[in-house]
Structure formats: C-alpha cells, structure tokens
Amino acid sequence: MMGQGRLAAWAVGLAALVALPFLYRDPYHLHILVLILIWSFAYTSWSMMGRFGLVSLGHGGFMGIGAYVTALLWNHLGWSPWIGIPIAMVTAGALALIVGYPCFRFRITGHYFVLVTLALSGIVLQVITATRDYTGGSLGYTPNRASGNKLLALQFDDKTTWYLIALGVWLFGIVVWHWVDRSMARYALEAISEDEDAAAAAGVDVTAEKLKITLLSAVMTALAGAIYCQYQMFITPDTVSGIAVSLQMVFAAIVGGLFVSLGPTFGAVITILLAETLRIGFGTKAVGWDNLVYGVLLVLFIIFLPKGILGSLLDRLKPQRKVPRAHEQEAVQIARPGT
C-alpha cells in the first residue's frame, strides 16, 4: 500500500506537472517534454513484461503498427483516429497473441524468445517498406491535415494541448503499472520468471499469465505509437518500428531501472535529454555522433550499472528495506529452462 506521504508527494508532483505548460511556454522545451512523456509511456509499457523476464525486442513492431494503422486508416479511408487507434491497438494485440501463443505454449524462452521477437520487429519494418505504395516506404508518411474538426482528427496545433494529452497517457501507463504491481498476476509472473516448472506445479497457468501481460504491453505500446504519430504528424519506418526502436525501449527501461514504477520514465528523461544534448552539441555537421556516444554509454551501463540509475539510487537510500529477490539482481532476468 502507498503511504499517506507518498500519495501526497504524487499529488503535489502531478499538480506541478499539470500547471507547468500554463506557467512556462517555451515551445522547444515543451516539445521535449511531450516527447519524453510519450516515450516514457512506451518504455513503461515495455517494462510491464520486461520486469517479469519477458524480454521482447518486438515492441518496435507494435509501436509501428500503432502509428501506421492509425495514419493509414485516416488517409485512405478517412476514419478518425478515435476509431483508428482502437483498431491499431487490436491489430497489435492480435499480432502479439499470434507470436506469443506458440512461444509460451511451447516454452520458447531466453535467447529464443528474444530472437523471435527481434525478428518480429524486423518483419514489421520490412512490411512497411514493402507496401511503399500505401505507406510511402522508408521515405516516411504524413497523415493528411484535417480540414474540419480538429478534435475529431486528433490534430492540435498548440503544444499545451499535446502536453496535457501526453501527460494523461503517461499517467495512465503509471496507473496500469501500479495496478499490475498489486494484482495477483504479478505474483504469478514473478513465480514464472523464477522457475516456470515450479510455478506450473503450484497451479499457475503459465501460458495464460504470460499471454495476458504480453497482450497488455503490446496494446499499450501501439497506443504510444499512435499518439506519437498524431503528435509528430510524420513517421518513418525507422523512427517508430524496427530493431533500433525496440533496443531503445529496452535500454531506456534498463538505464532508468526496471523494478520501480518511475524507472522507465527516468530512463526516458535521461536518454532523450542525452540524445538531444548530443544532437545539439554535435550539430548537423556530424550526423551519427550522438548515437555513437549513446551506444557506448549503453554498453557501459549494462556492464557497470545493470540495475539502472533509479534502481541503484533507491537501493542506496533504503538499504535492506526488503530482502531482494533473486531476479532483481539482474538487469533483466529471463526464465531459463533447467535452472
């Protein structure tokens, strides 16, 4: 249970976040904040299954589906994103079930699961590129500007509106995270990530539990993709889908810390600020330097600080608050057969 003090801290923090765009209106900084909130939501969605040892590198695919299905329905059929986004989420969920079911049913874990999901995001990227007559291929895609009702088209010009939307979506993600954290499913999934056989013997329906969390995570990631598309009004296969995006999610979640609710958010703040600083620092003359430094830092992180910044900080602040579970010793633990 959350204590009174913590609840008050959350309320004050939220009030400050809501008030922010009305007090401070620098468009560039607001833009960065919106991006951080949207990506935080995506990273939180990833961490919901990632924290239980289900390391998916396929979330780039789900995000791409969210963005492209929404945009395609709007441009080609004129369907409002209010209908398009739910359809996109259902599509991503269906794909998650199709890939997830055989994986979980036949105990595909560890390296295998990572590689299968990795291939999934690669394939989504290929499909978007292959259907270039509709999706514009690797050149990117722009949803048509709405001529009529802005609300119906979910297109807004001012940053404040987007900031509040992104804040709401992000908050939704955090609430779901806490909801899962306090549910029975969490204990079942933790048992599964420690030892699948033992969990199954104790009466946990391993396949169903894994499928549920995967479905939730995939659907939320698709929502993140759709919101990102509506905000940026320009998507390319490389920015919303594919292996790079998937890896980016995993890294941000790990850098922030997987086992605390604000960890992925913290990771998003750090990685996006870092990327922006590097981008501005190096300027346009040296494309790629930012990613080079980013990549090196990520490797160093995994080697030297696998529990993430926020996770490690919290450990320092609260020594031995509880006996750490075995799987929290690792950046991400994957269930290994036979251990």
Q: Give the residue from 264, 262, 265, 260 showing the smallest Cα distance to 322.
A: 260
Task: Dump the DSSP string for 23-71.
Answer: H---HHHHHHHHHHHHHHHHHHHHHHHHTTT---S-HHHHHHHHHHHHH
Q: Among 127, 262, 274, 313, which residue interacts with other proteins (rule: CB under 8 A)? A: 127
Least distance (Å) from other proteins to the CB of residue 214? 15
Write the secondary structure of 77-133 as one string of H (helix), E (strand) and C (coil): HCCCHHHHHHHHHHHHHHHHHHHHHHHHHCCCCHHHHHHHHHHHHHHHHHHHHHCHH
CA distance 255 to 268: 9
Which range of residues in 84-92, 145-153, 269-277, 301-309 is near other proteins by CB under 8 A? 301-309
**Positions 247 through 276 that interact with other proteins (CB under 8 A):** 247, 250-251, 254
Interface with other proteins, residue 303, by CB under 8 A: yes
Q: Which of 79, 156, 172, 294 binds other proteins (CB under 8 A)?
A: 294
Tokens 């013997």 correspond to what residue? 201
Phi and psi of 228, rounded to 5°?
A: -60, -45
**Binding letters toward other proteins, positions 202-241, x by CB under 8 A:** ------------------------------------x---
129 binds other proteins (CB under 8 A): yes
Among the listed ranges 157-165, 183-191, 225-233, 327-335, the one in contact with other proteins (CB under 8 A) is 327-335
Q: How far apart are CA 207 and CA 211, in angstroms?
A: 6
- Tracing tokens 């995570």 back to the chain, one arrives at 217
Distance CA 310, CA 236 (A): 32
Radius of gyration of the chain (CA): 20
- CA 70 from centre of chain: 18
Does 116 contact other proteins by CB under 8 A? yes
Q: In the set 97, 292, 324, 325, which binds other proteins (CB under 8 A)?
A: 292
- Among 90, 123, 146, 171, indicate the residue that binds other proteins (CB under 8 A): 123
At 320, is the secondary structure helix, strand, or coil?
A: coil
Q: Does 156 bind other proteins (CB under 8 A)?
A: no
Say whether residue 63 binds other proteins (CB under 8 A): no
If one asks whether residue 197 binds other proteins (CB under 8 A), the answer comes out as no
Q: Which of residues 25-44 bind other proteins (CB under 8 A)?
A: none
Q: Does 331 interact with other proteins (rule: CB under 8 A)?
A: yes
Binding site for other proteins (CB under 8 A): 53, 55, 57, 98-99, 102-103, 105-108, 110-112, 114-116, 118-123, 125-127, 129-130, 238, 242-244, 247, 250-251, 254, 286-292, 294-296, 298-299, 302-303, 306, 330-334, 336
